[in-house]
Amino acid sequence: MTESSTRPKIGLITPPSSNHIPPECETLYGDAIEFAARGASLKSLDIEGYTDAETRIAGLAEELRDWGARAIVLFGTSMTFYRGCDHMRTIETMAAKASGLPATSLSSSIIAALQSIDASNVVLGTAYVDEVNQALIAFLSEFGITTSGLSAMDIRDVRKVEQVTSREVLETGLRAFETNPDADAILISCGALHTLEITEALERETGKTVISSAVAGAWGAAAIAGIDTRRSGYGHWLETGGGSDAA
């Protein structure tokens, strides 16, 4: 029996049209999980784009089931929080019913992450335009999490967000921190904003725990696969394994 056949298979539904596996999944848990991705062909980072991409989720979940996935992770943050908690649950249920498998999302995972560190007041570093930032703030408030500061990149073009560098993410996180240094944590929201290289630096400079969409999503995949979620070298939260279960 080969190594890949012994690892649990987790299917990812990602926003871009490509089927590339997010680097956070491979770097953090590729030794323990076999991943496959299917892209939802998101056309823009706004409500219109998310509404369109949502129509493809059920079909992609079925494809991943046929590949052999044990569970489905909707690997888009704004694509799942944009109409609030109830709608996020509806989308997760849609994927679960289409595939017959458990399903979770990046939005569920960031809530679980923030709750696991008792963060009730956060500052946000995001890729988003204003309408999406406001949707995120409203979504967090449904879980009793207040947003007290924001630094946003104002990106609507999917191709542009894929070109953001880790340095730009670090600078966005620092600007977010400066809006309220008394916040409980820094949330970097957007699965395309990669934080593996800068989480520890941002935590050192601010003294705050950093939660990011893509890392929380990879953690959610590991949790639903039932493997040890602890990883060293990527920030305080993963050192302890985060919460015990995805939200």
129 and 91 both lie in a single domain = no
Distance CA 109, CA 245 (A): 9
Distance CA 165, CA 194 (A): 8
CB-based contact 30:55 (threshold 8 Å): no
25 and 102 both lie in a single domain = yes
Residue 238 domain-assigned (yes or no): no
Residue 58 domain-assigned (yes or no): yes
19 and 102 both lie in a single domain = yes
> pLDDT (tens digit, 9 = 90+) per residue, 34-72?
999 999 999 999 999 999 999 999 999 999 999 999 999
Distance CA 58, CA 33 (A): 23
Percent of the chain with pLDDT over 70: 96
94 and 184 both lie in a single domain = no
97 and 124 both lie in a single domain = no
> pLDDT (tens digit, 9 = 90+) per residue, 141-196?
999 999 999 999 999 999 999 999 999 999 999 999 999 999 999 999 999 999 99
* Amino acid 6: pLDDT: 86
Domain with residue 86: its CATH number is 3.40.50.12500
87 and 147 both lie in a single domain = no
CB-based contact 38:19 (threshold 8 Å): yes
Q: How many domains does the chain have?
A: 2
Residue 241 domain-assigned (yes or no): no
Residue 240 domain-assigned (yes or no): no
Residue 128 domain-assigned (yes or no): yes
115 and 97 both lie in a single domain = no
Residue 245 domain-assigned (yes or no): no
CB-based contact 218:29 (threshold 8 Å): yes
Distance CA 29, CA 222 (A): 7
20 and 114 both lie in a single domain = no
Give the range of the structural domain holding residue 88, as residue numbers without chain letter: 3-106+215-231
CB-based contact 150:126 (threshold 8 Å): yes
> pLDDT (tens digit, 9 = 90+) per residue, 109-132?
999 999 999 999 999 999 999 999
116 and 197 both lie in a single domain = yes
Token pair in block for residue 183? 């916040």
Residue 242 domain-assigned (yes or no): no
pTM: 0.94
Which pLDDT band, with edges at 50, 70 and 90, does 5 fall under? low
95 and 7 both lie in a single domain = yes
164 and 93 both lie in a single domain = no
Residue 36 domain-assigned (yes or no): yes
40 and 122 both lie in a single domain = no
